[in-house]
Structure 1
Amino acid sequence: MENCAIILAAGEGKRMKSQGPKVLCQVLFKPMLEWVIDAVEGAGVLNLCVVTGHLHSEVESFLDGLAKTKQRTAPYEHVYQAEQKGTAHAVMMAEQFLRHHTGANVLILSGDAPFLDPKTIRSALLEHIESEQAVTVISAEPSNPFGYGRIVRDRSTGALKAIVEEKEADAPTKQIREINSGAYWFRVDSLLSVLHNIENENSTGEYYLPDAIRLLLSRSQKAGAFLTNDSNVVLGANDRKQLSELNLIAKQNVLLRLMADGVDIPCPDGILIGPDVTVGNDTRILPGSILTGRTRVGKGCTIGPNALLEDTIAGNSCVLQNVQCSGVEIKDEQTLKPFTNLRARSVY
């Protein structure tokens, strides 16, 4: 049985003050939910179920469009959580999906945490399987753990003993830096065995997924925590300020990756490049340039200043300064006149 994933994407995100769903807010021109889906699929997990809620029809329409863009043989599965009653309640909405994958493992994660990467997902799964654990939490050690659930380990074995939320933690527990990222690998059968035993006897009246870990431990099943060395995997956005902070992190990561690949970026001011853009070595990118979508730029080009390329293919040795191109293909060694504006379905 192939492993699967459940992506929690039902939240309203009131503080975002958006008329659209929170998970479709963009980081570097790419919806956060798409970041998460790409990471999961990049880790080799292709069976996905998205739990929708607030403005669910918009999220479902986005999923259908994304499936067509990726040329999937089948659309993404999704289920509707009419009332948001906690993370475990969201998983309950996907119970039939889980039952179709008994005998496998399921990754459960948030649709608004865009920096969880395929390598971390695969490494956590490997530890999960090799240690024969019923559940493996992906954890991190941010510089400031305030507000996150703390990972409490057995001092002798290092095994996971508990996840203690900030509001329930005593002073020594608050000194722990390792925190719960909100992403988990479960054995499907183990999760199903406790899912409906989770109670909502707490201050919010909600059903929380970490309670499944407590129940599994009480039944002598093994639990562990995979500690990633990238604290950014826990980051999400609840408001526009936090969304801007995610954009800054993503921008820096993309520019550093391109420079490591031989792209010349002498001054990064005003340069924004999406995570799916590819650029050949010895290409120079100058200030005021924005490259988005599936744009592909060849080698030895000059891009900018003030170039906007959206889903554009540019060959080698092109010069694109003060131009706007959307959905076009530009052949090798082309120099476009300044202030040229080219639209889709054209080859130049």
Structure 2
Amino acid sequence: MTKPIDHEDLGAAGRYPEGGLAFPHRHLTGIAHLARHEILYLLDEAEQWLALNRQRHKRAEVLSGLTIINAFFENSTRTLLSFEIAGKRLGADVVNMHAATSSVKKGETLIDTAMTLNAMRADAIVIRHASSGAVQLIADKVDCPVLNAGDGSHEHPTQALLDALTIRHALGLAPGSDLNGLRVTICGDILHSRVARSNILSLTALGAVVTVCAPPALMPAEIAAMGVTPSHDFDAALQGADVVMMLRLQQERMSGQFIPSPREYRHLYGLTLDRFGKLAPHVLVMHPGPMNRGIEIDSQVADHPARSLVTRQVESGVAIRMACLDVLTRRARGVPGWTGSEGAAA
């Protein structure tokens, strides 16, 4: 376990420890094990890449000569594309592995696959898998950094990081700023959502006040223990919110009937144009995608030019993933200050 670092020991600008102590983890498998200053460090590291991505020439060579494998055992469009663009803009060779065409379909075990990927001497592996805990299983078997691109209903850490970065920019907050006092309402399929779990961990660590709203069948029993306020009344949960984050129904992870009908769900828990019109004019709207338009969110709300952050979330995603790939490979690249034993934490 990493030794807690006192604020007096923080390095540059009084915010972070020096060198590799700023982020002493070998992998990024979740938000749960990250300290507040480690989350902020990744957000601040993403700032330079957000700026680069807005330029005409969007390429750096910090990962030149390195190989990144995106091993996606679960279907994805935006996350896979985002990681691929991130790796290539940093100068790495990027290889995408799709489970549908891999030996997993022939009966190969996950550990066998992990050992195969490790033997190929990848410099970082990005994993997406339908089973909770699968990413950690692979991380325990390989020699290079592993990034979790979503595992079952467990975590999706880079999504939470990009959401925090998006909020910070939308509010005009400076690097190093947390979200202290911000009121965020997360509504949707909380029970099955790895995005909800990672966002709860990240937002509360940064000081936000979080309310989660869902039908009783889609609300985890012990959710209040995560430091949030649970609600089954969406209209009540919207009162006082500064940011509303909508989640889709995770139909692929459900077995049985969790909602009466899509129409009833929209009536009770959808961010309709009517509900949106009753919100304070400063309230911002988010959705990690993909969206079920007309169910959890109306198109006029999702596409609102001033208050919807949906496309800005996508933009932030590339920058955050560039930052994570950069930071996690610094020890192997011999970056000054990152080559000592301080990088042993998992």
TM-score (norm 2): 0.27
Whose strand fraction is larger, Structure 1's or Structure 2's? 1
Q: Mark the structure with the bigger radius of gyration.
A: 1
Of structures 1 and 2, the one with the larger relative CO (CA 8 A, separation 6+) is: 2
Whose helix fraction is larger, Structure 1's or Structure 2's? 2
TM-score (norm 1): 0.27
